[in-house]
Structure 1
Amino acid sequence: MTKQRKALAAAFPLTIPVMAGYLFLGIAFGILMQQKGYHAGWSALMSLIVYAGSMQFVAVGLLSSGFHLVQTVLMTLLVNARHLFYGIAMLDKYAGMGKKKPYLVFSLTDETFSLLCSAKVPEGVDKGWFYLFTSLLDQIYWIAGSFLGGVLGSSFSFDTKGIDFAMTALFVVIFTDQWRMPGSHPPALVGLLASVICLLLFGAQNFLLPAMGLILLSLILLRRRLRKGGEAQC
């Protein structure tokens, strides 16, 4: 077995929870695009070259209301600002990835970040290919769901209100799986505590960015202690 096939075989089981969420949410996105007059090919193309999850749902409204460059840029920065923190956290893991690195950076979604932070590369599996296939499989699920949703949306329509809760449910599953791993509790508790504090201080509409900043600062300050205890997960 080649190292690529070995890495693919190791990465696929890890991505199954994401597959369930991405197919479902991708279908919802494809249906919304179809309802706005964009066929399945446009949905799949956006998922291929944009691949921004929640921002793609926002983009459906932007496309239907007319394109405004400044508004679109600012909205994209606000919605995806959390990826700045993800990127900083992955600097060590992505070091030395060579030609794989540009795609790994492009494909770093919320769920892929969670998987790569909590996953341990199996013994004998090439780390670079393992990371690449984990990221690639997640994007393939999203593209497939988007295309399927566009096809289904051309046949029937239904009320999609509340369907995006599947993303929240997916995060709960990933968090629970990470919590069950030995030594993963301190970073998780930091994240929960920082989020609750910022939620109380800034409210539900404005707490995300302050919470991400507080989490990042806390993990930087506690990084040495977590490493000494063998508890750093990302």
Structure 2
Amino acid sequence: MQEKIKALKAAFPYTLPVMTGYLFLGVAFGILLNSKGYSFVWAIFMSIIIFAGSMQYVAITLLSVAFDPLNAFLMTLMVNARHLFYGLSLLGKFDDAGKKKPYLIFGLTDETFSILCATEPPGGVDRGWFMFFITFLNHLYWIIASAIGGILGSLVSFNTKGIDFVMTALFVVIFLNQWKSQKQHTPALIGIASSVVCLLIFGAANFIIPAMFLIIIALTRYRKPFEKGAEKCYLPSSNHSS
């Protein structure tokens, strides 16, 4: 028990910025979901089971139209495909997590990924529990914020027009932070170029899947030149932050 408490105390300060961001994003999600007729209980349930902020926003739209399993699957793949890259870069860190590994994989978000890449547990703190509590606390913040948003939405009338833009703003901030924290910008430039090319060819409604395939092919083809930079994510000497 002392080992867990020590890891929780060490992890908590690193999650405070995420708590601040999730408070606004989660509340916005809860309000939007409530505006479609779903109570805060559904906001809590979705945040526990899905825990994918951007996809949860998309799910609000999917709940408002005729159910289309194939479209829902493809949309989920498009929105969350970036986690394929996150997961691969964290395999080294998760190897010794034991029974906590499935939850660490499930709970991986953009913000949690950034923290896990940029930090190492203090001396005497178990790495597995340190990573677990970073992931768990971020998950908990999202659940609580979603519930607050759902409750507020049921008590106060909101004009929700434009509120879903918060996710776009979040991704822009994440991209800028990652750009500033990395010396190697070629992968990011490949992503931008691939997206622009596919946007011009396939149009705004259909470019995401082709862009993801093009990015995967390009990064796989030129994987070795990028590996040294990627290794910084799980080396104790890593000093880059997000």
Corresponding position: 1:198 with 2:194: yes
Structure 1 length as normaliser, TM-score? 0.83
Task: Name the residue aligned to 1:65.
Answer: 65
With 9-18 and 163-172 compared, the bigger mean Cα shift is at 163-172
2:194–2:215 CA contact under 8 A, matched in 1 = no
1:21–1:167 CA contact under 8 A, matched in 2 = no
Structure 1 pair 66–105 and aligned structure 2 pair: CA distance change class (3 A): same
For residues 86-143 of structure 1, give each alpha carbon's deviation from its aligned partner in whole angstroms, at most 9, with x where no partner exists. Answer: 2212111110211101111111112111221122222221110110000001110110
Task: Report the Cα offset of residue 224 of structure 1.
Answer: 5.4
Structure 2 length as normaliser, TM-score? 0.81
Instruction: Look up the SS of the partner of 2:155 in the other structure.
Output: coil
2:34–2:40 CA contact under 8 A, matched in 1 = yes
Task: Name the residue aligned to 1:105.
Answer: 105
Identity %: 50
2:40–2:146 CA contact under 8 A, matched in 1 = yes
Task: Report the Cα offset of residue 153 of structure 1.
Answer: 0.3
Q: What is the correspondence of 1:205-216 to structure 2 with a 5 Å cutoff?
A: 205=204, 206=207, 209=212, 212-213=215-216, 216=219
Structure 1 runs not aligned, ≥5 long = none
Structure 1 pair 185–120 and aligned structure 2 pair: CA distance change class (3 A): farther
CA distance in 2, matches of 1:119, 1:171: 21
Structure 1 pair 175–71 and aligned structure 2 pair: CA distance change class (3 A): closer
Corresponding position: 1:217 with 2:220: yes
Corresponding position: 1:19 with 2:22: no
Task: Name the residue aligned to 1:185.
Answer: 183
Task: Report the Cα offset of residue 165 of structure 1.
Answer: 4.4
Task: Report the Cα offset of residue 71 of structure 1.
Answer: 2.1
1:194–1:211 CA contact under 8 A, matched in 2 = no
CA distance in 2, matches of 1:74, 1:115: 29
Task: Report the Cα offset of residue 225 of structure 1.
Answer: 4.0
CA distance in 2, matches of 1:218, 1:121: 34
Structure 2 runs not aligned, ≥5 long = 235-242
Structure 1 pair 221–148 and aligned structure 2 pair: CA distance change class (3 A): same
Instruction: Look up the SS of the partner of 1:203 in the other structure.
Output: helix
